Amino acid sequence: MSDSGERVAEPRYADWEAVYRDNVTRVYRMLYGKVGNKADAEDLTTEVFMAALGPLRLEASAPEVRSYLFTTARTVLAGHWRRTLGLEVTALDTDDERWLVDLGPEPEVPSTAPQRAEAILAQLPEPHRRILQLRFIDACSLREAAAALGITVGYAKVLQHRALKRAAALGEVAT
């Protein structure tokens, strides 16, 4: 409502291109913050917009569209973790809805994530380093990684779990 008591119309998007242009950076940044790598964030961003294309109504207000995209991004991210880590994620952090507002220009600070990842991988024993490299750097499926290592898929899951735990512990020490 305005000061005069009239209802103020919320902004709406003219077309799908406008929806994409206005929201792609916020969706990408949110996903990048969750997955930590450019390739996955780009793929997941595409997945969010593909999933939203059918059900999303252009008549919805801009805040409603952003909210829908945020919800879709959470669902896509949960699917990503399930596929990538074999984890069933039932709840994601929803407190951080800063992405729903304009974030301003993208920061010019380059990410140090690749260097941190390399440093952590260098500290891992060979089997742990190799499974993580195959799965997350070379983007191999669990089955492909197991074949490359000459182990069973079941053992590859165990090895990956142990490697991730150890890498996480090393990452906490480094920060």
Would the pTM count as exceeding 0.75?
Answer: no
pLDDT(97) > 60: no
- pLDDT for 55 equals 83
Residues with Cβ within 8 Å of residue 42, at least 6 apart in sequence? 28
What is the fold, at CATH topology level, of the domain defined by 113-174? Arc Repressor Mutant, subunit A (1.10.10)
pLDDT(102) > 50: no
Cα–Cα distance between 3 and 6 in angstroms, integer? 7
Cα–Cα distance between 88 and 85 in angstroms, integer? 9
- pLDDT for 158 equals 92
Which amino acid type is present at position 63?
P
Report the DSSP beta bridge partners of residue 61.
12
